[in-house]
Amino acid sequence: MTQLSGWKVLGSGRAGGDLVLAVDFATTGRSNSAFSDLAPRLDPALAVWETRQGAGAAPLSAEDHLALWDGKAAADGRRVRAVLGYCAGSLFAGELAARIAARQGEAPHLVLLEPEVPAPAGLYRDFAAMMDQFASVLTPDEVGAAQREADAARTDDVDFGAYGDVLVRIFTERAGAAFAREQLDTELLDEFVAVFRSYVSYLDAARRIDPAAAWRTGTAVRSRTPSAGAPPAGRTVDVDVDHADLLRDARTAEVVGRLIGSYATS
Task: Write out pLDDT tens, residues 122-162.
Answer: 999 989 988 888 888 888 999 999 999 999 999 888 999 99
Q: Which of 170, 195, 167, 187 is nearest to 30 (CA)?
A: 195
Could you report the per-residue pLDDT of 88-118, keeping only the tens digit for each?
A: 999 999 999 999 999 999 999 999 999 999 9
The candidate with the shortest Cα–Cα distance to 100, out of 125, 67, 65, 59, is 67
What pLDDT sits at residue 255?
96
Q: Which stretches of the chain score pLDDT less than 50?
A: 1-3, 262-266
E strand spans, the chain: 3-4, 7-11, 19-23, 47-51, 80-86, 109-113, 219-222, 235-238
Query: What is this structure's pTM?
Result: 0.91
